[in-house]
Structure 1
Amino acid sequence: MPRQLLRKGLGRRTCRGLGRVAAHSRLRSTAAVFTTMSALAATSLFGGPSVAEPFSVEPCELQRTDAHHSEGLDTWNAAYPRPVHRLDAVMIFLSFPDSVPRTTPAQLAADHFPATSRFFERASYGKFTLRPHPLQRWIRMPKPSTAYAIRRDWNAADRAAYLRDALAGADPQVDFSRYDIVYFVADPDAPGVDSDATKVVNLDTPLRADGTDLRRVVTVFEQHPPDRLVLAHETGHVFDLPDLYHRPADGKGDWDTYVGDWDLMGSQFGLAPDLFAWHKWKLGWLEPRQVMCVRGARPTRLTLEPLGAGPGVPVTGAAGSPAFGLGDGTKLAVVRTGPDSVLAFEARGPIGNDRAVCDAGVLVYRVQSGAASGRGPIEVVDAHPRGEACWEDSVYPPLADALVGLGESFTVPGENVRVDVEGRTPSGAWTVKITTGVTAAR
């Protein structure tokens, strides 16, 4: 993830826009005065004629394409490990002849763990465990750090030389057959190390060690301390997730215009870095019953649980009191819009990995399975295109208030699909109506 994001002062982790957004929410939530009443009556919404029958999710399962890190999820790309159980990762620390390390391997390991494991544990609702195995010593590289010309857009020959030397140095001390993921962590103080060069290297011709093919490795060139959640972002690529940020042609300008704060693969600095429900479905963390495929002309009413809610996670209820018991209900609603595209709807708020976000409501985004990583495979639809929120802390304030709030109705531009956020249940879930085939107001 690019360091250009640091220009926004994102070292601050507090959300000072809370008061501002609260006022904004009061203005736009005309139903707030009867929130509690509607919440208590929410169960009655599901007995009327507009209630959708349970749908198969297959019509909404976009097919995986040849695009790099395609967002299609009808099949799993077997070239990548699927994080639906425990995976073991080895961390190998590389030093160089032109630098004496000022940190220890233990310090660098602590930069990333347990934070990375905890992120995935929360995001997966406990279905995935990432277990790190850091070496306790430095592996000495044979060449000075400057000899490898390390940089973000790395020359293939220099990168190959780096990987060959790292593997040759580590192989006598590491049984690579025991691990699912490999992290090569460079001495952050070596003069040739570029902190903007951290990335996953996908290999057309795998490296071979201990009878194991290494098809991809994570090369870590982070400063100490590192960027927030950077290793979780790179590990997402190991699981076939794409970059969701927009990279300007000249490297200047905003990188966050596609999804803003709303997914780790867009920005590890985001206030709401939990993975989109679409990604959780792709990775196997959502059951088919937790996804509603909306079809037909009749309005569909459903209850969306907050994305971050899982077993044992407290959620603020409709009346502001703590509520528990969420985690196994519907997390995602999907409307098919084309052969390789859908609209997705999910509830987001300050819970779990999103605890720093300063707004709550229903997020709408487009998914395209034919768009490659970095080319906008997911784009958030801004329900308030003239506003912004959390401007001091958000990576892209214009999308920080993209959510459809309580009592609001929003017609998605160009899609003739409307979402009405009608209420909250006592447990903190959102009651939503989705209507297709509507005509946008003029």
Structure 2
Amino acid sequence: MPRQLPLRAVTREVVERLGRLGARPRLRSTAAVFTTMSALAATSILTGPSAAESFASSPCALRRTTAHHSEGLDTWNAAYPRPASALDAVMVFLSFPDAAPRTTPAELAADHFPATTRFFEHASYGKFTLRPHPLRHWIRMPRRSTSYAIRRDWSAAHRAAYLRDALAAADRHVDFSRYDLVYLVADPDAPGVDSDATKVVNLDTPLRADGTDIRRVVTVFEKHPPDQLVLAHETGHVFDLPDLYHRPMDGKGDWDTYVGDWDLMGSQFGLAPDLFAWHKWKLGWLEPRQVTCVPGIGSTVLTLEPLGAHPGGPAVGAAGAPAFGLGLGTKLAVVRTGPDSVLAFEARGPMGDDAAACRQGVLVYRVRSGEESGGGPVEVVDAHPRTEACWENSVYPPLADAPVALGESFTVPGDDVRVEVQGRTAAGAWTVRITPG
């Protein structure tokens, strides 16, 4: 996507649908450590519940489908590393014969860390830590930067050549068996480097190095300093999270019409980029008791804790005051609306990763497990469709005021589910009544 001003900037498409191109050329690495590498495929890896453990038995847990990055969460796709406890990531810094770097590896590492680690620690309530291991020196690529034709919609052949050369050059310096994630960071000032090309590359057949399968690599081409939280967004794909933005066919128009500011996988520039509670459930960061499956008949009154409330200590509330006693209660309410769809309800406000949130209240969104990444698997429902907010810095002002505010009621169009926000507790949680039609 062409670069835009920060007010309306958007995230990148992570993978191309190369699996639709037909025959996939096979390449052989010049390094003995690599096995045969197939062309890159966005829809590769394992699909279907038989490939993974079952971990969400709630009747509201959508079944994982064959859709790329399916929002189903009844099983975990074992082809992706699960962000539980801690994972180690190596950062490899690549220079080229046609440019002398004007930055240092330490400067580029500081562009992304500790910010990326901090984001995931907040989002996971301390359950997950991403540990970076940046190299301290540049590794020289064998060819000029311009020879790889780096761009957003990168060809399979050029991208495969880039990966083959990068990993072969790095293997003399890196023991890949020690790491769970690989970030290849290119010299941002090399003439052939396109800062719009940062993305995750999935491998149909993994590379083999140091006795380890490398199934996906994050190729980083960011300028210095980079777009905010861009590495957190790309790392989300490594954990099987989909793109939530809409890419216009002609490249023009708004990209953020699906979820606006409300999830990092929609836009890393969002005012409230914390991951949806649905994603936290998928990643294993919510306990079963923190998810309520609302019955299809009658009314259910429940208390929703703010998504950003952390159980480890005082969180900062909307007015800057500590919000004690939060963090272990219900974070997500779900109404089943079909075989592969639900309505989700969560409380959002200026707290944690959402510190700059434009509005607060109960956010409502649809989840569809059969929709692919980039195809609208999640859509925020706007409780105030005739107004917008925070036009000066929201990525999509029409959805900036989407939450149902205190004292308001709202009926979800098309699903006839009514939500009433009845009050706040002394600790800052939201009292909500949900009534399916």
Does the pair score TM above 0.5? Answer: yes
Structure 1 CA distance for aligned equivalents of residues 69 and 122 of structure 2: 23
Indicate the residue corresponding to 2:315 in structure 1.
Answer: 314
Q: Which residue of 2 aligns with 1:241?
A: 241
Measure, in 1, the Cα distance between the counterparts of 2:209 and 2:407. Answer: 58
Match of 2:5 in 1: 6
Question: CA contact under 8 A between 2:244 and 2:373: conserved in structure 1?
Answer: yes
Output the CA distance in 1 between the equivalents of 2:290 and 2:413: 26
Matched, 1:153 2:153: yes
| Richer in helix (by share) | 1
How much does 1:298 deviate? 1.4
Residue number in structure 2 paired with 1:25: none
2:251 aligned partner? 251
Would you say 1:58 and 2:19 are equivalent positions?
no
Q: How does 1:45-84 map to 2 (within 5 A)?
A: 58-84=58-84
Q: Which amino acid aligns with 1:112?
A: H
Matches within 5 A, 1:26-425: 58-310=58-310, 311-316=312-317, 322-425=322-425
Q: CA deviation at 1:57?
A: 6.0
Name the SS for the 1:91 alignment partner: strand
User: Judging changes above 3 Å, is the alpha-carbon distance between structure 1 residues 122 and 158 closer, same or farther for their aligned structure 2 residues?
Assistant: same
Q: 1:286-314: per-residue Cα shift (whole Å, max 9, x none)?
A: 01110000013210000000000002142
Distance 1:321 1:165, change over 3 A: closer
Distance in 2 between the 1:134 and 1:257 partners? 36
- Deviation (angstroms), 1:321: 5.1
The residue identity in structure 2 corresponding to 1:103 is T
SS state at 2:231 partner: helix
CA-CA distance at 1:10 after TM superposition = 6.3
Runs (4 or more) in structure 1 with deviation over 3 Å come to 2-5, 319-322
Q: What is the match of residue 34 of structure 1?
A: none
Q: What TM-score, normalized by structure 1, do the two folds share?
A: 0.87
Cα deviation for residue 325 of structure 1 reads 1.7
Shift of residue 3, structure 1, vs aligned partner: 5.3
Q: Is the 8 A contact 1:142 1:165 kept in 2?
A: yes
Contact 1:315/1:428 (<8 A) preserved: no
Q: Give the Å deviation of 1:359.
A: 1.0
Gaps of 5+ in 2: 11-55
In the alignment, which residue of structure 2 is the partner of 1:29?
Answer: none
**Secondary structure of the equivalent of 1:89?**
strand
Asked whether the equivalents of residues 10 and 393 of structure 1 are also in contact (C-alpha less than 8 Å), the reply is: no
Matched to 2:254, the amino acid is D
**SS of alignment partner, residue 257 of structure 2:** coil
Identity %: 80
Q: Give the Å deviation of 1:254.
A: 0.4
Contact 1:93 1:185 in 2 (8 A): yes
1:44-90 deviation per Cα after TM superposition (whole angstroms, max 9, x unaligned): xxxxxxxxxxxx96110000000000000000000000001100000
RMSD in angstroms over aligned alpha carbons? 1.5
Deviations 1:167-226 (A, max 9, x none): 000001100000000000000000000000000000001111001110000000000000
Deviation per residue, 1:326-385 (Å, 9 max, x gap): 001000000000000000000000000000112110000000000000000000000000
Partner letter of residue 114 of structure 1? P
TM-superposed CA distance for 1:323, in Å, is 2.5
Which letter does structure 2 place at the counterpart of 1:156?
A
Q: Which amino acid aligns with 1:175?
A: D
Q: Which amino acid aligns with 2:147?
A: A
Question: Any stretches of 5+ residues in structure 1 without a counterpart?
Answer: 12-55, 438-442
Kept in 2: contact 1:256–1:395 (CA 8 A) = yes
2:244 maps to a residue whose letter is L
